Structures are given as structure tokens and as C-alpha cells.
């Protein structure tokens, strides 16, 4: 059984399982799926400041914090006991392209050549981690939710703002991967 769990799951199994969280949450308690809102709940519970954005009944949404804790626990369990000892497989064309940017270490899920603590103090690392993190956080707040909330929950409920947000996420992702990231990696 453990060997079965260690294997990568195909999209036609993993995708529907993720998609089934939407009707399960709706049926079990009329709840909306989303991850970024949990940060707001944590801030509302921990910050006694008089900030209007954090003044709401966050205790009604505590289930979301347990959901996110389950995601973190599941990821920890998978990394600790279900990790494969096989090297990460990268398509040869991508290996060739990334080698042009000096990225050759595929011993981890994320290339250590670009996402490592000592790399944070370089110009390239600053752009990737600090500026990129700020833009993701700003975009999530500006769009009123993250990709999981809009693309999984919002689209399944046929919400027009979620369609607009998801299209913008995809355009931004394509632009980043094909135009901006190659420029940053060449710095």
C-alpha cells in the first residue's frame, strides 16, 4: 500500500479528488474553498488592533484553519514518509533551457540553484523571493482570493469574477514564465 502511495498520481485521479472538495464543502456545511483567507483569519484572531478588515466573526471560519493545518500535516507526512528516492524527472528540453541560466541541480523538487537561503541575498534571489512574494500576496488580496478559491470554487459556482480572476492568473503566469523569468534568471 505504501508503495502505491509513493507513486505520482495521474491527473485523472488527483484532479477529480481536488474537484470533489467543492461539493463536499458545500454539502457538509455550505462552506467555500479557499486557502488565502486563512491568513486573514489568523490575523483577525491574533491582532487586537482596531483594523476594520480584521473585525469580523473569524471564529465562524475556524474550520478553514483546520483545513489548512491538514494540508500542512499531509505535506509533512508525504515529505517525511512517502518521498521517492528517485531523482526529480525534468524534460530534456527544459534541462537544456535551464542550463543556459545556470540551473543544473534537480536533486530537490525546487532547483537549489535559485531557491536557497544564500541566494536570497543576490539581486536575482531578491526579485524571485521578496518581490515575487509581495506580488503574489498583493495580487491575492487585490483579486479577492487565490487561485484555489477562484479557479476551483469560484468557477464551479459559475462566478463571473472568478472567471476574470482565473484568466488573469493564467495570463500573468504565462507572461512570467515566458517573458519575465528568463530576464530575471539572466541577471
Span 26-65, pLDDT tens digits? 888 888 878 888 888 888 888 777 888 888 888 888 888 9
pLDDT value of residue 76:
93
Of the pLDDT bands very low, low, confident and very high (cuts 50, 70, 90), residue 130 is confident
Q: What is the mean pLDDT of residues 143-156?
A: 85
pLDDT value of residue 70:
93
Lowest average pLDDT, out of 87-91, 108-112, 168-172, 174-178, goes to: 108-112
pLDDT of 110 above 80: no
> Domain map of the chain by residue range?
1-83, 114-187
pLDDT value of residue 160:
93
pLDDT value of residue 171:
95
Under DSSP, is residue 52 helix (H, G, I), strand (E, B) or coil? helix
Mean predicted lDDT score pLDDT of the chain: 85
Span 4-22, pLDDT tens digits? 777 778 889 988 988 888 8
* Whole-number Å distance between alpha carbons of 33 and 70: 14
CB under 8 Å to 7, separation ≥6 — which residues? 84
CA distances to 7, 28, 60 from 84, in Å: 8, 34, 39
Give yes or no for a contact between 54 and 40, defined as CB atoms under 8 angstroms apart. Answer: yes
* Whole-number Å distance between alpha carbons of 120 and 115: 8
Q: Taking the model in full, what pTM does it have?
A: 0.72
pLDDT of 80 above 80: yes
Amino acid at each position: 500500500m505504501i508503495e502505491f502511495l509513493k507513486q505520482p498520481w495521474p491527473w485523472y485521479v488527483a484532479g477529480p479528488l481536488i474537484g470533489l472538495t467543492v461539493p463536499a464543502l458545500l454539502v457538509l456545511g455550505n462552506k467555500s474553498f479557499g486557502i488565502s483567507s486563512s491568513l486573514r483569519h489568523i490575523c483577525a484572531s491574533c491582532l487586537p488592533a482596531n483594523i476594520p478588515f480584521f473585525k469580523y466573526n473569524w471564529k465562524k471560519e475556524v474550520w478553514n484553519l483546520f483545513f489548512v493545518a491538514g494540508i500542512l500535516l499531509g505535506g509533512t507526512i508525504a515529505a517525511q514518509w512517502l518521498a521517492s528516492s528517485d531523482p526529480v524527472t525534468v524534460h530534456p528540453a527544459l534541462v537544456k533551457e535551464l542550463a543556459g541560466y545556470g540551473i543544473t541541480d534537480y536533486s530537490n523538487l525546487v532547483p537549489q540553484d535559485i531557491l536557497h537561503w544564500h541566494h536570497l541575498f543576490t539581486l536575482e534571489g531578491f526579485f524571485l523571493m521578496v518581490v515575487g512574494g509581495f506580488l503574489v500576496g498583493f495580487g491575492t488580496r487585490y483579486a479577492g482570493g487565490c487561485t484555489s478559491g477562484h479557479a476551483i470554487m469560484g468557477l464551479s459556482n459559475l462566478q463571473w469574477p472568478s472567471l476574470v480572476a482565473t484568466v488573469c492568473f493564467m495570463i500573468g503566469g504565462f507572461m512570467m514564465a515566458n517573458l519575465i523569468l528568463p530576464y530575471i534568471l539572466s541577471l
